[in-house]
Amino acid sequence: MSANLETVPLSRSGWRWLWLSAAVVVADQLAKSWIVHHFSLYERLRVLPVLDIILTYNTGAAFSFLSDAAGWQRWVFVALALGISIVLITWLQRLRGGQQLLACGLALIVGGALGNMIDRLLHGRVVDFILAHWGAHLFPAFNVADSAITIGAVFVILDALLEGRSRTEAGKG
Protein backbone atom coordinates (compact mmCIF):
# COMPACT_ATOMS: atom_id res chain seq x y z
CA MET A 1 0.00 0.00 0.00
CA SER A 2 1.47 3.37 -0.95
CA ALA A 3 1.44 6.14 1.59
CA ASN A 4 0.02 9.54 0.78
CA LEU A 5 -0.70 12.73 2.70
CA GLU A 6 -3.99 11.34 4.00
CA THR A 7 -2.39 8.26 5.56
CA VAL A 8 0.97 9.64 6.71
CA PRO A 9 0.89 12.64 9.05
CA LEU A 10 3.26 15.43 7.96
CA SER A 11 5.23 15.03 11.19
CA ARG A 12 5.99 11.41 10.24
CA SER A 13 6.43 11.85 6.48
CA GLY A 14 9.65 12.74 4.71
CA TRP A 15 8.56 16.39 4.63
CA ARG A 16 10.14 16.84 8.02
CA TRP A 17 13.53 16.43 6.28
CA LEU A 18 13.12 19.54 4.11
CA TRP A 19 14.96 21.56 6.77
CA LEU A 20 18.08 19.67 5.61
CA SER A 21 17.46 20.74 2.01
CA ALA A 22 17.13 24.35 3.17
CA ALA A 23 20.32 24.06 5.26
CA VAL A 24 22.25 22.76 2.25
CA VAL A 25 21.00 25.64 0.08
CA VAL A 26 21.94 28.23 2.72
CA ALA A 27 25.38 26.69 3.42
CA ASP A 28 26.08 26.36 -0.31
CA GLN A 29 25.09 29.93 -1.14
CA LEU A 30 26.98 31.40 1.85
CA ALA A 31 30.15 29.47 0.97
CA LYS A 32 29.94 30.50 -2.69
CA SER A 33 29.33 34.14 -1.78
CA TRP A 34 32.33 34.15 0.56
CA ILE A 35 34.60 32.59 -2.05
CA VAL A 36 33.50 35.02 -4.79
CA HIS A 37 34.14 38.00 -2.51
CA HIS A 38 37.51 36.81 -1.17
CA PHE A 39 39.20 35.03 -4.12
CA SER A 40 40.19 36.07 -7.61
CA LEU A 41 39.40 33.75 -10.50
CA TYR A 42 41.69 30.68 -10.30
CA GLU A 43 43.35 31.90 -7.09
CA ARG A 44 44.33 28.80 -5.08
CA LEU A 45 44.85 28.28 -1.38
CA ARG A 46 46.42 24.99 -0.24
CA VAL A 47 44.39 23.55 2.66
CA LEU A 48 45.86 20.04 2.69
CA PRO A 49 48.45 18.33 0.47
CA VAL A 50 45.52 16.91 -1.54
CA LEU A 51 42.97 19.73 -1.19
CA ASP A 52 42.91 23.35 -2.39
CA ILE A 53 40.34 26.12 -2.34
CA ILE A 54 40.03 27.79 -5.75
CA LEU A 55 37.52 30.10 -7.40
CA THR A 56 36.30 28.72 -10.69
CA TYR A 57 33.06 28.74 -12.63
CA ASN A 58 31.24 25.98 -14.49
CA THR A 59 28.62 26.69 -17.15
CA GLY A 60 28.13 22.95 -17.68
CA ALA A 61 27.18 20.10 -15.39
CA ALA A 62 29.31 17.48 -13.62
CA PHE A 63 32.87 17.31 -14.97
CA SER A 64 32.07 20.43 -17.08
CA PHE A 65 29.69 18.42 -19.27
CA LEU A 66 28.31 20.76 -21.97
CA SER A 67 30.27 23.74 -20.63
CA ASP A 68 31.26 24.69 -24.18
CA ALA A 69 27.66 24.77 -25.44
CA ALA A 70 26.18 28.04 -26.66
CA GLY A 71 24.25 28.88 -23.46
CA TRP A 72 21.11 26.80 -23.93
CA GLN A 73 22.47 24.30 -21.37
CA ARG A 74 21.81 26.83 -18.58
CA TRP A 75 18.05 26.50 -19.04
CA VAL A 76 18.16 22.73 -19.56
CA PHE A 77 20.03 22.32 -16.26
CA VAL A 78 17.65 24.72 -14.48
CA ALA A 79 14.66 22.72 -15.77
CA LEU A 80 16.32 19.42 -14.79
CA ALA A 81 17.12 20.65 -11.28
CA LEU A 82 13.59 21.95 -10.80
CA GLY A 83 11.97 18.80 -12.21
CA ILE A 84 14.16 16.45 -10.19
CA SER A 85 13.53 18.48 -7.03
CA ILE A 86 9.75 18.30 -7.53
CA VAL A 87 9.90 14.53 -8.05
CA LEU A 88 12.12 14.01 -4.99
CA ILE A 89 10.00 16.28 -2.77
CA THR A 90 6.92 14.31 -3.85
CA TRP A 91 8.78 11.09 -3.00
CA LEU A 92 9.72 12.57 0.39
CA GLN A 93 6.06 13.39 1.04
CA ARG A 94 5.13 9.73 0.58
CA LEU A 95 7.80 8.24 2.83
CA ARG A 96 6.95 6.66 6.15
CA GLY A 97 8.64 7.59 9.42
CA GLY A 98 11.07 4.67 9.47
CA GLN A 99 12.81 5.56 6.21
CA GLN A 100 15.31 8.06 7.62
CA LEU A 101 18.31 7.11 5.49
CA LEU A 102 16.31 7.44 2.27
CA ALA A 103 14.68 10.68 3.43
CA CYS A 104 18.04 12.16 4.39
CA GLY A 105 19.51 11.19 1.01
CA LEU A 106 16.60 12.67 -0.94
CA ALA A 107 16.71 15.89 1.11
CA LEU A 108 20.46 16.27 0.47
CA ILE A 109 19.97 15.79 -3.28
CA VAL A 110 17.15 18.36 -3.34
CA GLY A 111 19.25 20.91 -1.44
CA GLY A 112 22.21 20.39 -3.76
CA ALA A 113 20.11 20.59 -6.91
CA LEU A 114 18.44 23.80 -5.75
CA GLY A 115 21.75 25.33 -4.63
CA ASN A 116 23.29 24.90 -8.08
CA MET A 117 20.02 25.94 -9.75
CA ILE A 118 20.13 29.26 -7.90
CA ASP A 119 23.62 29.90 -9.29
CA ARG A 120 22.46 29.14 -12.83
CA LEU A 121 19.42 31.42 -12.48
CA LEU A 122 21.33 34.32 -10.92
CA HIS A 123 24.69 34.09 -12.66
CA GLY A 124 24.34 31.72 -15.62
CA ARG A 125 27.04 29.48 -14.14
CA VAL A 126 27.89 27.54 -10.99
CA VAL A 127 30.59 28.63 -8.55
CA ASP A 128 33.00 25.78 -7.76
CA PHE A 129 35.74 26.09 -5.17
CA ILE A 130 36.85 22.75 -3.72
CA LEU A 131 39.72 21.17 -5.64
CA ALA A 132 40.94 17.69 -4.76
CA HIS A 133 44.18 16.54 -6.35
CA TRP A 134 46.87 13.90 -6.15
CA GLY A 135 50.18 15.11 -7.50
CA ALA A 136 49.52 16.43 -10.98
CA HIS A 137 46.13 14.66 -11.20
CA LEU A 138 43.20 17.01 -10.59
CA PHE A 139 39.62 16.07 -9.79
CA PRO A 140 37.16 18.63 -11.23
CA ALA A 141 36.41 21.44 -8.78
CA PHE A 142 33.13 21.15 -6.91
CA ASN A 143 31.09 22.88 -4.19
CA VAL A 144 28.84 22.28 -1.18
CA ALA A 145 25.82 21.54 -3.41
CA ASP A 146 27.77 18.94 -5.40
CA SER A 147 28.94 17.34 -2.15
CA ALA A 148 25.36 17.15 -0.85
CA ILE A 149 24.17 15.55 -4.10
CA THR A 150 26.96 12.96 -3.94
CA ILE A 151 26.39 12.10 -0.27
CA GLY A 152 22.62 12.01 -0.86
CA ALA A 153 23.04 9.60 -3.79
CA VAL A 154 25.23 7.34 -1.63
CA PHE A 155 22.52 7.33 1.06
CA VAL A 156 19.79 6.47 -1.49
CA ILE A 157 21.90 3.60 -2.88
CA LEU A 158 22.77 2.38 0.61
CA ASP A 159 19.09 2.46 1.57
CA ALA A 160 18.20 0.41 -1.52
CA LEU A 161 20.91 -2.14 -0.70
CA LEU A 162 19.80 -2.41 2.92
CA GLU A 163 16.14 -2.67 1.89
CA GLY A 164 16.99 -5.43 -0.57
CA ARG A 165 18.97 -7.29 2.10
CA SER A 166 16.13 -7.07 4.63
CA ARG A 167 13.64 -8.38 2.04
CA THR A 168 15.97 -11.28 1.21
CA GLU A 169 16.37 -12.13 4.92
CA ALA A 170 12.61 -11.87 5.49
CA GLY A 171 12.00 -14.26 2.61
CA LYS A 172 14.35 -16.85 4.16
CA GLY A 173 12.69 -16.76 7.56
Active site residue 68: no
Own/partner pairs for 59-67, CB < 8 Å, 24+ apart? 59/124, 59/125, 59/126, 62/140, 62/146, 63/140, 64/140
CA dihedral of 39, 28, 79, 19, whole degrees rounded to 10: -170
- Of 86, 113, 101, 104, the closest CA to residue 18 belongs to 104
Rounded Cα–Cα distance for residues 128 and 63 (Å): 11
From 28, 52, 146, 159, the catalytic residue? 146
From 28, 52, 119, 128, the catalytic residue? 128
Rounded Cα–Cα distance for residues 58 and 70 (Å): 13
Active site residue 52: no
Strand partners, 48: 51
Q: Is 129 left (phi over 0), alpha (psi -120 to 50) or beta?
A: alpha
Positions marked catalytic: 128, 146
